[in-house]
């Protein structure tokens, strides 16, 4: 059986060997047993049911909670030459009938379906009349009421055990905790399932957490080495999402906003673009996440603190599904702590619930202030022990300096106490530094005994100290007021001199910025860049022709292997991991040509156009596009005009013109009779006020309108 599975792995999927426990899982399910699979994101869960589906006779039914996930998998299988379809609400009755007929004729191997549809009596009796190979229940944690993704429809999937007693069932999830695991077993009636628990470590992700100082500047520094990479930036509020997306686009990093306040259509559109285009950044609230199967997300950046380690793990886990190097980066500061604590305090819910949430937040804060290996700490929270420091996180790489902060901490606590436990960090630092300003005099704090006692430390060091006091629960935030600090019960031993306190020394921004160009940016080195881009642009072109995301043609890992192993014949190409029989036949030649260099000439122009259109759609100005592509602005304008003429771009996408000016220009063009005047005529008429390139674009838009 395993032999046969190996052959399918190579012939259909193009991979040489199973990863982790895939082999054992496939053997179990293919031979008719049930399985519960707990594997992190990117671990390779899909193969665990796709290979058995091909090994067993009959139709494999895959339950998936989201249309986007289904479509992605169906497109991927389609490219591999495997007959798969998704039944969902977007299909017409006729289309559905057609699919049913194909299923009855045995033409389909995998059927993807939403849970609510699967459990409809008509659907169930339809399936009972067929040979069903297996049921795969993806994202099985949706059955858990405690998780964030609870789907009531999942509860009804338990009946499959009774209705199809001889059909093997495999449930899969990337949610690890014990409680969810037991709920899945119970509710899905999987008592006899063999459990396959993988390590939840994501070794290819580099973790870095930096103190927040000038977050935008810090983010730009982080992004500087990652130009052209796709990534997600998480923020807490919708407003901030909008602002950061606009800011990044302005700075030459094409970015789109995503949050619950946008219309469904716009959200779906932005999500689609994120999947289909390369190098786009999604700036999002946590509303963006589930259903994102994009394998080549190269980084996840947090500009605000997640409220638990569960959330942090899940959000950062969206990076690097393809196993290539990826980064998890976060900037965090005292304001985050204050904000989350206030939110928690104002939330509905009973005391017990609040206590649980408080513990979760404390664990998140502890990771931020961690002085040991971040990965060890993160995994320990999920009950997994990593024996050695990982060597692949900021703490391991940069080392962490700690210092004895006992005395300054006592001064800080004393400043809180003596000023009446109601002032924020700004004022407290002023007291310690002895700043004799108006506010100080107004409240008379220049007479406090701690006034000016802390001149040995800088303002930044004091702020860092206060942040750590709050993170460790030694001081509390006044939740009703304006972020004033109070003493907490647990600071007593410190005040009484019974314990000492070691704190983390924050790195200077320059140090951390220098250290932050890590793994991902090293993916492709200078001399390979050109060929890498050529491979990517061929992939992009094929993806457009087939209307699928680029990674469905070939994942980055496969392109990278082509780049490194330089196959020169089809036989050699077949050995590249990720090149199965069908893709070899379809795409082998084309990629060989690029590798041989003969396809490079046409690349230049065709590719420039693709890229230009993506950049313009992402909201870049012509000047920014010119910088990005390294060509003249004049060239950019004429390519934009051309794209507008072909209706690949709208005028609004290409240029951001004030409405009045646009009206004036259009009037100028439309003034006369017959043929549109040339752009240079209009330029003269407007006294050279408007750039000629702009006029080309407006003219192209008018022309396109006439022809339509
Ligand atoms: P998950 O669903 O667990 O997040 P996927 O099934 O999407 O993970 O797999 C992640 C990536 O790893 C995909 O690009 C997939 O093709 C690739 N992959 C899975 N199994 C293997 C394997 N045995 N060898 C090489 N690549 C694999
Ligand atoms: Zn580490």
47 lines ligand 1 (CB under 6 A): yes
CA dist list (Å): 247 to 26, 174, 219, 244, 330: 47, 34, 11, 5, 18
CA quadruple 675, 678, 679, 685: dihedral sign: negative
8 A C-beta contact, residue 463 and residue 371: no
Q: How far is the CA of 22 from the centre of ligand 1 (A)?
A: 10
8 A C-beta contact, residue 80 and residue 548: no
Taking the alpha carbons at both ends of the chain, their separation in whole angstroms is 59
CA dist list (Å): 296 to 170, 232, 283, 320: 27, 11, 16, 6
The structure tokens listed for 178 are: 């014990």
CB atoms within 10 A of CB 136: 28
Residue 19 makes CB contacts below 8 A (sequence gap 6+) with 43, 44
CA quadruple 608, 609, 613, 616: dihedral sign: positive
d(CA 644, CA 381): 53
Q: What pLDDT does residue 26 have?
A: 98
Q: What pLDDT does residue 135 have?
A: 98
Q: What pLDDT does residue 434 have?
A: 94
CATH fold label, 605-707: Arc Repressor Mutant, subunit A (1.10.10)
The structure tokens listed for 674 are: 């017959």
Is the pLDDT assigned to residue 510 strictly greater than 70?
no
CB atoms within 10 A of CB 124: 14
18 lines ligand 1 (CB under 6 A): yes
The structure tokens listed for 54 are: 């091909």
Q: How far is the CA of 292 from the centre of ligand 1 (A)?
A: 14
Q: Which residue has the tokens 């190097």?
A: 325
46 lines ligand 1 (CB under 6 A): yes
pLDDT, tens only, 261-302: 999 899 989 998 998 888 899 999 987 776 677 899 999 999
CB atoms within 10 A of CB 347: 10
Is the pLDDT assigned to residue 513 strictly greater than 80?
no
Q: Which residue has the tokens 């500087």?
A: 224
pLDDT, tens only, 65-95: 888 889 889 999 999 999 999 998 788 889 9
Picking from 568, 581, 559, 413, the residue whose alpha carbon sits closest to that of residue 487 is 413
Minimum CA distance residue for ligand 1 atom 9: 44
Q: What percent of the chain has pLDDT over 90?
A: 57
The structure tokens listed for 189 are: 């009636």
Range from 168-172, 363-367, 523-527 carrying the lowest mean pLDDT? 523-527
**Mutational pocket test of ligand 1: of 16, 46, 170, 577, the residue with most ligand atoms within 8 Å of the beta carbon:** 46
Roughly what angle, to the nearest 10 degrees, separates helices 459-471 and 406-418? 80
The residues spanned by each domain of the chain are: 2-197, 205-398, 406-500, 527-600, 605-707
d(CA 279, CA 221): 17
Higher pLDDT, 708 or 204: 204
Minimum CA distance residue for ligand 1 atom 10: 42
Q: Which residue has the tokens 């998704």?
A: 86
Q: What pLDDT does residue 602 have?
A: 46
Radius of gyration of the CA atoms of the chain, in A: 29
Q: What is the architecture of the domain spanning 2-197?
A: 3-Layer(aba) Sandwich (3.40)
Q: What pLDDT does residue 171 have?
A: 98
200 lines ligand 1 (CB under 6 A): no
SS (HEC) of 66-114: CHHHHHHHHHHHHHHCCCEEEECCCCCHHHHHHHHHHHHCCCCCEEEEC
Picking from 22, 294, 287, 34, the residue whose alpha carbon sits closest to that of residue 140 is 34
Q: How far is the CA of 579 from the centre of ligand 1 (A)?
A: 14
**Mean pLDDT of all residues belonging to the chain:** 89
The structure tokens listed for 3 are: 């032999």
Q: How far is the CA of 31 from the centre of ligand 1 (A)?
A: 22
Greatest pairwise CA separation for the chain in angstroms? 92
8 A C-beta contact, residue 84 and residue 73: yes
8 A C-beta contact, residue 329 and residue 170: no
Facing residues of 284 across strands? Answer: 234, 258
Tell me the pLDDT band of 258, cut-offs 50, 70 and 90. Answer: very high
Q: How far is the CA of 46 from the centre of ligand 1 (A)?
A: 7
> Beta strands 281-284 and 255-258: pairing type?
parallel
Q: What pLDDT does residue 129 have?
A: 95
Q: Is 279 exposed, middle or buried (0-12, 13-18, 19+ CB in 10 A)?
A: buried
d(CA 549, CA 294): 9
> Beta strands 132-137 and 84-87: pairing type?
unpaired
Is the pLDDT assigned to residue 45 strictly greater than 80?
yes
Continuous segment of H or E residues that includes residue 378: helix 374-381
d(CA 576, CA 81): 18
610 lines ligand 1 (CB under 6 A): no
pLDDT, tens only, 217-239: 999 999 998 888 999 999 999 99
Name the E strands within 376-505.
402-404, 475-477, 485-487, 502-504
Minimum CA distance residue for ligand 1 atom 2: 45
Question: Which ligand does the CA of 50 lie closest to?
Answer: 1
d(CA 558, CA 561): 5
Facing residues of 301 across strands? Answer: 233, 329
Q: What torsion, rounded to 10 degrees, do the Cα atoms 484, 489, 494, 499 define?
A: -140
Q: What pLDDT does residue 481 have?
A: 65
CB atoms within 10 A of CB 522: 10
Is the pLDDT assigned to residue 518 strictly greater than 70?
no
Average pLDDT over residues 505-514: 61
8 A C-beta contact, residue 313 and residue 379: no
Picking from 226, 270, 239, 283, the residue whose alpha carbon sits closest to that of residue 68 is 270
Picking from 230, 244, 227, the residue whose alpha carbon sits closest to that of residue 285 is 244
Range from 99-103, 179-183, 243-247 carrying the lowest mean pLDDT? 179-183
Q: Does domain 406-500 have CATH number 1.10.600.10?
A: no
Minimum CA distance residue for ligand 1 atom 25: 15
The structure tokens listed for 326 are: 């990826």
Question: Which ligand does the CA of 72 lie closest to?
Answer: 1
8 A C-beta contact, residue 326 and residue 521: no
pTM over 0.85: no
Q: What pLDDT does residue 343 have?
A: 83
Q: What pLDDT does residue 530 have?
A: 84
Q: What pLDDT does residue 606 have?
A: 56
10 lines ligand 1 (CB under 6 A): no
Is the pLDDT assigned to residue 682 strictly greater than 70?
yes
d(CA 316, CA 298): 10
Sheet architecture: strand order including 84-87: 84-87, 110-113, 59-63, 132-137, 169-173, 35-38, 194-197
> Beta strands 502-504 and 402-404: pairing type?
antiparallel
The structure tokens listed for 641 are: 């005009």
Minimum CA distance residue for ligand 1 atom 15: 44
The structure tokens listed for 197 are: 């628990």
d(CA 656, CA 653): 7
pLDDT, tens only, 478-509: 876 677 899 998 899 998 889 999 998 887 65
Q: What are phi and psi of 14, to 5 degrees?
A: 80, 15
The structure tokens listed for 361 are: 């937040």
Picking from 120, 121, 157, 164, the residue whose alpha carbon sits closest to that of residue 139 is 157
Q: What pLDDT does residue 531 have?
A: 87
Name the E strands within 325-399.
326-332
Q: How far is the CA of 552 from the centre of ligand 1 (A)?
A: 12
CB atoms within 10 A of CB 11: 16
What is the CATH code of the structural domain delimited by 527-600? Answer: 1.10.150.80
Higher pLDDT, 508 or 546: 546
CATH fold label, 205-398: Rossmann fold (3.40.50)
Residue 79 makes CB contacts below 8 A (sequence gap 6+) with 546, 548, 552, 553, 582, 583
Q: What pLDDT does residue 85 have?
A: 96
317 lines ligand 1 (CB under 6 A): no
Picking from 122, 52, 109, the residue whose alpha carbon sits closest to that of residue 81 is 109
pLDDT, tens only, 367-412: 999 999 999 999 999 888 999 999 999 999 888 888 999 999 999 9
Residue 268 makes CB contacts below 8 A (sequence gap 6+) with none
Q: What are phi and psi of 284, to 5 degrees?
A: -145, 155
pLDDT, tens only, 591-630: 999 998 855 444 455 567 777 887 888 777 888 888 777 7
Query: What is the DSSP secondary-structure string of 332-345?
Result: E-HHHHHHHHHHHH
Higher pLDDT, 51 or 701: 51
Q: Judge if 527-600 and 605-707 fold alike in CATH terms.
A: no
Is the pLDDT assigned to residue 551 strictly greater than 50?
yes
């Amino acid at each position: 059986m395993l032999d046969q599975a190996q052959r399918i792995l190579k012939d259909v999927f193009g991979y040489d060997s199973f990863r982790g426990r895939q082999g054992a899982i496939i053997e179990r399910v293919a031979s008719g047993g049930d399985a519960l699979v707990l594997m992190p994101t990117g671990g390779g869960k899909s193969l665990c049911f796709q290979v058995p589906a091909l090994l067993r006779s009959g139709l494999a039914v895959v339950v998936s909670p989201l249309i986007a996930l289904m479509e992605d998998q169906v497109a991927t299988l389609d490219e591999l030459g495997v007959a798969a379809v998704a039944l969902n609400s977007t299909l017409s009755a006729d289309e559905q009938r057609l699919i049913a007929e194909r299923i009855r004729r045995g033409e389909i191997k995998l059927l993807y379906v939403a849970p609510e549809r699967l459990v409809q009596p008509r659907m169930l009796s339809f399936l009972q009349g067929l040979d069903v190979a297996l049921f795969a229940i993806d994202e099985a944690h949706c059955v858990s009421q405690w998780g964030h993704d609870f789907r009531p429809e999942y509860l009804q999937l338990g009946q499959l055990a009774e209705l199809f007693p001889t059909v093997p069932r495999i449930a899969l999830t990337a949610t690890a905790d014990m409680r969810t695991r037991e709920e899945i077993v119970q509710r899905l009636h999987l008592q006899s399932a063999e459990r396959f628990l993988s390590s939840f470590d994501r070794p290819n992700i580099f973790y870095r957490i930096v103190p927040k100082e000038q977050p935008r500047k810090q983010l730009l520094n982080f992004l500087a080495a990652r130009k052209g990479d796709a990534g997600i930036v998480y923020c807490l509020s919708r407003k901030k999402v909008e602002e950061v997306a606009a800011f990044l686009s302005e700075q030459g990093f094409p970015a789109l906003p995503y949050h619950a306040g946008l219309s469904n259509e716009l959200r779906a559109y932005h999500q689609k673009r994120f999947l289909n285009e390369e190098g786009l950044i999604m700036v999002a609230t946590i509303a963006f996440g589930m259903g994102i199967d994009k394998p080549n997300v190269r980084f996840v950046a947090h500009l605000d603190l997640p409220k638990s380690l569960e959330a942090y793990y899940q959000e950062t886990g969206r990076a690097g599904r393809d196993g290539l190097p990826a980064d998890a980066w976060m900037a965090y500061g005292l304001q985050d702590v204050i904000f989350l604590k206030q939110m928690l305090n104002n939330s509905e819910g009973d005391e017990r619930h609040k206590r649980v949430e408080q513990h979760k937040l404390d664990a998140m804060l502890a990771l931020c202030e961690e002085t040991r290996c971040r990965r060890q700490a993160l995994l320990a929270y999920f009950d997994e022990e990593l024996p050695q420091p990982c060597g692949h996180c900021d703490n391991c790489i940069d080392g962490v300096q700690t210092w004895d902060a006992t005395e300054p901490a006592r001064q800080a606590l004393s400043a809180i106490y003596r000023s009446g436990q109601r002032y924020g960090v700004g004022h407290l630092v002023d007291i310690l530094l002895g700043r004799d300003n108006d506010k100080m005099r107004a409240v008379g704090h220049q007479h406090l005994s701690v006034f000016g006692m802390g001149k040995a430390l800088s303002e930044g060091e004091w702020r860092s100290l206060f942040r750590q006091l709050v993170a460790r629960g030694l001081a509390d935030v006044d939740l009703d007021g304006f972020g004033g600090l109070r003493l907490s019960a647990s600071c007593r031993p410190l005040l009484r001199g019974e314990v000492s306190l070691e704190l983390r020394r924050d790195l200077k921004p320059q140090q951390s910025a220098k250290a932050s160009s890590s793994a991902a940016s090293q993916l492709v080195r200078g001399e390979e860049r050109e060929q890498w881009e050529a491979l990517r642009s061929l992939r992009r072109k094929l993806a457009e022709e087939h209307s699928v995301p680029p990674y469905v043609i070939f994942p980055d890992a496969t392109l990278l292997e082509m780049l490194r192993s330089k196959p020169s014949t089809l036989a050699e190409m077949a050995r590249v991991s990720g090149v199965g029989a069908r893709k070899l036949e379809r795409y082998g030649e084309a990629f060989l040509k690029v590798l041989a260099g003969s396809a490079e000439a046409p690349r230049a122009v065709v590719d420039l156009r693709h890229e230009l259109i993506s950049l313009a759609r992402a909201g870049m100005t012509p000047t920014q596009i010119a910088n990005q592509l390294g060509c003249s602005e004049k060239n950019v304008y004429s390519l934009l005009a051309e794209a507008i003429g072909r209706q690949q771009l709208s005028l609004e996408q290409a240029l951001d013109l004030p409405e009045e000016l646009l009206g004036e220009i259009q009037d100028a063009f439309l003034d006369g009779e017959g043929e549109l005047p040339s752009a240079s005529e209009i330029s003269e008429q407007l006294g050279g006020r408007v750039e000629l390139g702009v006029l080309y674009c407006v003219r192209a838009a008018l022309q396109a309108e006439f022809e339509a």
